[in-house]
Amino acid sequence: MNKTHHRIRSRKGLSARCLVLLSLLIIGFFAGCAGKDNSIEAGKDKGMFSWFRSATGPPEPESEVDLSDKAMDYFVHGRYVLAEEIFQKVRDRYPFSPYATLAELRLADCQFYMSDYDEAISLYEEFEKLHPTNEAVTYVIYQEGSCYYRLMEGPDRDQTFTHKLIETYERLLNRYPDSPYSYEARKRMAEAKDRLAQHEVLVARWYIRTGQAPQAEDRLETAIDLYPNTSAGLKAARLLKKERMFQQTSTGETDRAKESEESWWRRLIPFI
């Protein structure tokens, strides 16, 4: 009986010691968490619930470098909407920073890659006006032409954007003839000029079908004079030659018909 009673008392003592030890551990844990920093007002609390306070408190402002890095990461991965939003923040928050200039350029690029070419042209032109000596101006002018290149209509449609492309790339080549974009600019200009010549040929064919030969010849001569080295310009030359031969043949047949008619009347009434 005494042994049993002794074991019970020993177990009770062990349990009590365990509870005390556990309590000390818990107190030590919270004391340690709280003891890391007692200055909550200074915003340096790293206790157990610091994650809650940091989530609800005001975030630290990001620098233009951090924002630009984040925006460029979105940009290179094709997430242009998110990139545009952050580039806009950089431009608005840090207008005098070099990163603001980069943001202005990339805002135009975002519009270009999202196929909003009208808005991209406006932003590229604004960049060129604000930063005329910036080393990126050659790229900017090339991109303006790239917008017009994508806006060009077929040869049977209005050719305003085709003319704009040629004007833009001529400006690029005149100012920066040796730029890395010169080759592609010349190639696109040749394509645009051929498009304009095609347009003239199509209009000339319509005049021919409707019996307006002088107007058709004017259009073909325009294509030959302005775009002589294009495939459509060469086609215009062949068509003009053919049309003139046809007109001469038609005129000759008409003259012979008149002569035949006159000779018939003269045979009938020889003294007239």
For residue 22, pLDDT over 60 is answered with no
Distance of alpha carbon 7 from alpha carbon 3, whole angstroms: 6
DSSP codes, the chain: -HHHHHHHHHHHHHHHHHHHHHHHHHHHHHHHHHHT---TTTT---STTHHHHHHHSPPPPPPHHHHHHHHHHHHHTT-HHHHHHHHHHHHHH-TTSHHHHHHHHHHHHHHHHTT-HHHHHHHHHHHHHH-TT-TTHHHHHHHHHHHHHHHPPPTTS--HHHHHHHHHHHHHHHH-TTSTTHHHHHHHHHHHHHHHHHHHHHHHHHHHHTT-HHHHHHHHHHHHHH-TTSHHHHHHHHHHHHHHHHHHHHHHHHHHHHHHHHHHHHHHSTT-
pLDDT tens by residue, 218-253: 999 999 999 998 999 999 999 988 888 877 776 554
Residue 38: CB atoms within 10 A of its CB come to 11
Is the pLDDT at 39 greater than 60? The verdict is no
Query: Residue 115 corresponds to which tokens in the numbers above?
Result: 């196929």
pLDDT in tens, 128-184: 999 999 999 999 999 999 999 999 999 999 999 999 999 999 999 999 999 999 999
Contact 157, 123 (CB under 8 A): no
Q: Looking at residue 62, what is its pLDDT?
A: 84
Average pLDDT over residues 101-125: 98
> Stretch 98-108: mean pLDDT, rounded?
97
Q: How far apart are the first and last CA of the chain?
A: 169
**Nearest-10 crossing angle of helices 231-268, 213-226:** 150
Print the SS3 string covering 119-145: HHHHHHHHHHHHCCCCCCHHHHHHHHH
Answer with the residue of higher pLDDT: 27 or 65: 65
Domain boundaries, the chain: 62-115
Query: Which tokens belong to 208?
Result: 């021919």
Q: How many CB atoms lie within 10 A of CB 149?
A: 22
| Residue 49 in this model has a pLDDT that exceeds 90 | no
pLDDT at 36 over 80: no
Mean pLDDT rounded to a whole number for the chain: 81
Structure tokens at 132: 């005329």
